[in-house]
Amino acid sequence: MDAHVSPSRIAGRTRAPPSKSYTHRAILAAGYGSGTTVTDPLDSADPRATGRAVEAFGGEVVWTGEGDADDGSEGGAGAIEVEGFGGRPDTPDDVIDCANSGTTMRLVTAAAGLTDGLAVLTGDGSLRSRPQGPLLDAVESLGGRAESTRRNGQAPLVVGEAMAGGTVAIPGDVSSQFVTALLMAGAVTEEGIEIDLKTELKSAPYVEITREVLADFGVDTERTETGFRVPGGQSYGADEYAVPGDFSSMSYLLAAGAVAAADGEGVVVEGARPSAQGDSAIVDVLDRMGAEIDWDRDAGEIAVRASSLSGVEVDVGDTPDLLPTIAVLGAVADGETRIVNAEHVRYKETDRVAAMAESLEKLGAEVTEKQDSLTVHGGDTELSGATVHGRGDHRLVMALTVAGLVAEGETTVTGAEHVDVSFPGFFETMASLGASVSTE
């Protein structure tokens, strides 16, 4: 499916979809427990994959209710009734398909390390090219078995044989999801798991999201001098768990408002209550760029108006998913926007540093790409519409759609259907704000 976007002015009020990260964790934590209602979950392709894994381990996951937001957008509302597998997962009857979801594959790998038998995990072409090696080594050194069938550290994976727990050293600069996975599984091992980080932790706020969810399910975790520890022999339990709004998804709506809100009007995004999400940094980035932005934390609302933006330096070590959004803002802003500490952004659904460099150049921006940074030299030239490739990556599709709001002429974004990974109602939401966007 292609999305066609023309220059538009937008205005109005909308609601962010629920958080993908919290939804994954709530489903799996409920799976480790006995029975939980997860309210207002994100109903999109990635959390659905985690739900299927919980079922493969012997749980039951029933999605209730349809997306019924006022603007007709999907992806929110309803609930999930999770009947857990009660502590230790069963050996699955079949292969677990994690589809496009890195979070699912990492969290489920460590869970699979608890099964008596072996589980087989796979995913789509993108997921089968992402790094899993350090997590496989960790499961092995904790007493389980974990192999890449192609012996290249990538899925398909074969994992199981009841890891006991213990102490493990892993790198912190590939994916924080390895830490999350081991903390979640470690709570139900005999010995618990102590994680020593060999290199600086990237995407650190995601581990804090994990620790927040685990605490809400009655599971203790600790920070240590060199990493994290989770005591073993714990049980998960929560009758009900409410998922907050998603700041990564919000970043597209806020960026759209900052570059394309109609004169004298603005965009208001609801569902923005403070949480552990590092991506709430988008509010500060927009503020530093000169946007007129106001976050009412008590009301959970962010209001943004269009204003002229200037380039800034942004360290995305903690917030990799913001890179595509900030790169687009940089292309519209005057002066240079330097996005630094970005090497781990290359290990996502696609290499997002290279992909954004290529697409923004195609739209007429000047960029400098380095291994761990992307500099966008904004302002000198107007963006002009072109066909840009979504590369099967939801975040590229959404960020490039925002660029299309201000590029002269029509911008076509290919692979637009991939927004179903994290923000299924994205195009409907944009159209409800007045964006001139159509999909076919």
Ligand X SMILES: C=C(OP(=O)(O)O)C(=O)O
Ligand Y SMILES: O=C(O)C1=C[C@@H](OP(=O)(O)O)[C@@H](O)[C@H](O)C1
Tokens of 132: 């899993």
The residue to which tokens 């709001």 are assigned: 405
Q: Rule CB under 6 A: say whether 101 interacts with ligand X.
A: yes
Site track 342-361 with ligand Y (rule: CB under 6 A), x = hit: --x-----------------
Which helix H or strand E contains 172, and what residues bound it? none
Given the complex with ligand X, which of 367 and 397 has the nearer CB atom?
A: 397
Going across the sheet that includes 373-378, the strands are 313-315, 335-340, 373-378, 366-370
| Of residues 337-356, those binding ligand X (CB under 6 A) | 348-349
Residue 245 identity = G
> Beta 227-230 vs 193-197: how paired, if at all?
antiparallel
Alpha-helical (H) ranges within 101-176 are 102-112, 133-141
Using the structure block, give the residue that is written with the tokens 């050194």: 141
As measured in angstroms, the least distance from the Cβ of 119 to ligand Y is: 20
**Residue 422 binding result from ligand Y, ligand X, none, given CB thresholds of 5 to 8 Å by partner type:** ligand X
> What is the arrangement of strands in the sheet containing 240-242, beginning at the earlier edge strand?
60-64, 79-83, 35-39, 240-242
Told to check if 234 binds ligand X by CB under 6 A, we report: no
Instruction: Give the shortest CB-327-to-ligand Y separation in angstroms.
Output: 15
Interatomic CA distance for residues 264 and 318, integer angstroms: 34
Site pattern 44..63 for ligand X (x: CB under 6 A): --x-----------------
d(CA 246, CA 112) in angstroms, rounded, equals 28
Residue 396: how many other CB atoms lie within 10 Å: 27
Q: What is the 3-state secondary structure (H, E, C) of 98-118?
A: CCCCHHHHHHHHHHHCCCCCE
Does 417 engage in binding with ligand Y (CB under 6 A)? no
**Interacting stretch for ligand Y, rule CB under 6 A, among 88-96, 143-151, 198-206, 260-268?**
198-206
Q: Which are the catalytic amino acids?
A: 321
Window of 81-89, 96-104, 203-211, 298-306 that interacts with ligand X by CB under 6 A: 96-104
The yes or no reply on residue 109 touching ligand Y (CB under 6 A) is no
Interface residue with ligand Y among 104, 203, 251, 280 (CB under 6 A) is 203
Between 58 and 424, CB nearer to ligand Y: 424
What minimum distance in Å lies between the beta carbon of 131 and ligand Y? 9
Residue 128 makes contact with ligand X by CB under 6 A: no
Pick out residues in 407-436 that bind ligand X (CB under 6 A). Answer: 422
Strands 193-197 and 222-223: unpaired
Which residues sit at the interface with ligand X, rule CB under 6 A? Answer: 46, 101-103, 321, 348-349, 395, 422
